[in-house]
């Protein structure tokens, strides 16, 4: 059964929320981590902040085009418990795993939106496919970091 415009907007609002939360957590972790082993991860997070911001802007614009309301800070629901800055500022592997959890969640959500919009809203579907490709690239990058950092 095809998704309604309201269901598509709700899915986009959730995607927007996820992107904004990821920006906040990438920023926090890019500042919080310490140590030589953290440098590459901090640099990657810092670079990814701008890409996630672009995603949020694109999604926000699509919400507006469909007649929805872009959520402000009080409407956002923060749920990324795995991506919170660790107590140990050198716990780079914990942050990498948190990034991977966030990317997996985003990938699942974008795949769901792609299916929901098929045959109904090709503009949103195209946007979700484009963002999905970026999220999959982020996941691959951090999977590589995890392999390197957990190597004996």
Would you write out the chain's pLDDT as a tens digit for each of its 152 residues?
Answer: 779 999 999 999 999 999 999 999 999 999 999 999 899 999 999 999 999 999 999 999 999 999 999 999 999 999 999 999 999 999 999 999 999 999 999 999 999 999 999 999 999 999 999 999 999 999 999 999 999 989 85
3-class secondary-structure state, position 12: helix
Give the tokens for residue 16: 């927007």
Whole-angstrom distance, CA of residue 110 vs CA of residue 115: 9
Could you tell me the pTM of the whole model?
0.95
Q: Phi and psi dihedrals of 115, rounded to 5? A: -65, -45
DSSP 73: G
CA angle 23, 25, 27 (to 5 degrees): 70
User: Which architecture, in CATH terms, is 5-72+87-150?
Assistant: Up-down Bundle (1.20)
Q: How far is CA 87 from CA 3, 67, 117, in A?
A: 42, 42, 41
């Amino acid at each position: 059964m095809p998704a309604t415009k309201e269901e598509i907007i709700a899915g986009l609002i959730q995607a927007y929320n996820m992107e904004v939360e990821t920006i906040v957590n990438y920023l926090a972790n890019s500042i919080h981590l310490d140590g030589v082993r953290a440098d590459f991860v901090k640099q990657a997070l810092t670079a990814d902040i701008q890409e996630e911001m672009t995603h949020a802007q694109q999604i926000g614009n699509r919400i507006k085009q469909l007649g929805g309301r872009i959520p402000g800070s009080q409407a956002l629901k923060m749920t990324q418990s795995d991506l919170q800055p660790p107590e140990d500022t050198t716990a780079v592997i914990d942050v990498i795993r948190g990034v991977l959890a966030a990317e997996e969640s985003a990938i699942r959500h974008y795949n769901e939106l792609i299916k929901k919009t098929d045959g109904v809203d090709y503009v949103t579907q195209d946007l979700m496919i484009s963002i999905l490709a970026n999220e999959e690239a982020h996941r691959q990058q951090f999977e590589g970091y995890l392999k390197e950092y957990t190597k004996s």
